[in-house]
Amino acid sequence: MKNPEAQQDVSLSQGIRMMFYVMKPNETTFQTLEEVPDYVKQATPFFISLMLLEMVVSWIRKGKPPGRLDDAVTSISAGVMSRLPSLFSRSIELTSYIYIWENYRLFSLPWDSPWTWYLTFLGVDLGYYWFHRMAHEVNIMWAAHQTHHSSEDYNLSTALRQSVFQIYTSWIFYSPLALVIPPSVYAVHLQFNLLYQFWIHTEVIDNLGPLELILNTPSHHRVHHGRNRYCIDKNYAGTLIIWDRIFGTFEAENKKVVYGLTHPINTFDPLKVQFHHLAYMWTTFWATPGFFNKFSVIFKGPGWGPGKPRLGLSEDIPEVTGKEVPFSSLASYLLKIYAVVQFAVMLSFYEDTFARKAALTQVTLLLRVCFFILTLTSIGFILDQRPKAAVMEASRCLVFLMLCRFGHLKPLISSWSFPLEIFFSICIAYWGVRSMKQLASGLWK
């Protein structure tokens, strides 16, 4: 998926339709993997447009935005981090598939047949159902997937809250398709299945009537994201809800849904959002006696404990009252604006890095990735009002100036270089003074 000319062939009409999986086989069929457009990359303007539309509709219908700024920044931060490994290597979901196809395929279905296209649609969606279900029922897989469920809001930005290492297990569930289905067909549907799931992360769409019987809809997926007892381990579907109806995991939306993890993590630190459950598993693993019990900590459900069934007990799940208050940042309004500005500056360099990664050296790529992670972490510290946020932000701004000075970071527009240097110099002075005041008053202790 790296032919620029193929990517340019995605029209406005196709861009809109690909978000809802209504593309035709004859316009999305390719002989080789290199011809397949990067539909996910092409979807960026549609992500933004739909989020703006959701905001407008929410203001009109409810008189308020669909979520909170701090939560949205954290969700998009997780999405940013999840894509960073792809700067250095092709996705394991493709490399593993290609390896199986080239070495173990039984026979080859015709790449240009509509029947192959529709069969792959069903195969990828069924594979996603079982991957998603296991990601909730196997603790080590939940350690990755919980990132997506950690938001206490439910809006389109939540769809972007993705795990860094989830793809390192998801490929297993698609690998049987490689025995018969060409990689180019698989690569198309892998992207469409992901894109379809973006628009269902919203509260501004209610019931969709007869479509609720077949398709995964916002109503069905709201249940999946709920921490109410009736919502736990339900509605794993990607595109078709029929899999949940067939395998007994379907639940209709019937009560007010409260979103997030059953035990909220109460932080906007992107590293904690990604890795806190792994740290919890590590502690639990060593605290649990017996080899088989330790094995169960890893491979049974996240709610399991000695003497409990594989998926734990429903009574261990905290009751939801409907009066829960989502965790919010105590940072001032001005600090939140500052965080958004710095986040936007980082995103401009982030997009530039993906656009020009073939022309950048490995050293520059590595330094940029480190700067992105440092920026996201520093913003999380600011939103969390952590004591060391000031010294971290001062250090981060200094790193930015150094990377610019040595040519590892360059603005998209060269005339922005001087204003950015002035801005970041002022930031260093502000955060430096603030960190010195904190040090003098003993806030670091």
What is the torsion angle, in degrees rounded to the nearest 10, for the CA atoms of residue 276, residue 280, residue 285 and residue 286? 110
CA 330 remoteness from chain centre? 25
List the one residue out of 165, 161, 175, 173 whose CA is nearest residue 142: 165
- Reported as a single tens digit per residue, the pLDDT across 217-239 is 999 999 999 999 999 999 999 99
Model confidence at 414: pLDDT above 50: yes
- Helix/strand/coil for 112: coil
- What average pLDDT score do residues 34-52 get? 95
Between CA 84 and CA 364 the distance in angstroms is 13
Widest CA span in the chain:
72
Residue 444, pLDDT score: 54
The CA distances from residue 73 to 55, 251, 261, 292, 341, in Å, are: 15, 30, 18, 41, 11
Give 1's pLDDT tier (boundaries 50, 70, 90): low
Report the mean per-residue pLDDT for the chain: 95
- Helix/strand/coil for 18: helix
> Hey, what are 237's tokens?
């579907």
Residue 401, pLDDT score: 97
Q: Is 155 exposed, middle or buried (0-12, 13-18, 19+ CB in 10 A)?
A: buried
Specify the residue for token string 């639940």.
251
> Hey, what are 363's tokens?
């050293």
- Reported as a single tens digit per residue, the pLDDT across 269-308 is 999 999 999 999 999 999 999 999 999 999 999 999 999 9
DSSP state of 317: S
- What average pLDDT score do residues 205-219 get? 97
